[in-house]
Amino acid sequence: MTNNTDFRIALAEICYEMFKEGCIDPSARDITQRYYQGKQFSDGAIEDVRKSLSSVRRLITDEHHEVSAILLAQKYYDNYQKRGGPVDVTHAALCLPMGQGKKAVGILFCVGKENLIYKAFQKMTSTQTEGVLKRATNIIMNGLQQNLTKPDVGRRQLKMLADVIADPGLTRLLLDALTAEVARLEKREMHSSPLPEER
């Protein structure tokens, strides 16, 4: 069932409806109960919903443009749901299903700019994305420096990577570095044999 597109779409609509009704943190169990509309369901049914949460979140973002939806770990429901949420970003990070063995068990619609869990989410994903981007940047730069990649190809690749970063300052630094590197390589290319055209 977890591979069924219609099932995931139905879950996304249910989850979004619950948010509109005032439930900002539906768990997999809550969503399953709404899906089955009062009928009995098994733990396996809850697990099917839980495994679909990542896709559900993407559908909510794509279809309803609700970018505040993030995944929640069990820690949130055990320790913070009834207390009004965590008190600082450090504790908020514990509510996120990031790290070995941590599973997504619910979705949070982060209402308000000061939501600490959303701040923790932004901080953690920004750090992860920056690391991935820097590694990819190094690979592409090495290709340019070793004359294995044509400058226009390198420019396109780096621009694509830079676009995934939310931090405008970091994007600007990367584009500036790329511009300088490409200019240097283009100057060098004037005095060397050109690479074959990209296929």
More confident site: 57 or 158: 57
Say how many C-beta atoms besides its own lie within 10 A of residue 116's C-beta. Answer: 20
What angle (nearest 5°) sits at the alpha carbon of residue 71, between those of residues 67 and 77?
130
Nearest-angstrom CA–CA distance, 136 and 167: 17
Segment 95-124 shows an average pLDDT of: 84
Query: How high is the pLDDT of residue 178?
Result: 55
Predicted TM-score of the model (pTM): 0.65
Segment (H or E) for 1? none
Q: What is the pLDDT of residues 143-180, one digit of tens each?
A: 778 877 777 777 766 665 665 454 445 555 555 565 56
Most confident listed range (7-16, 57-66, 91-100, 136-145): 7-16
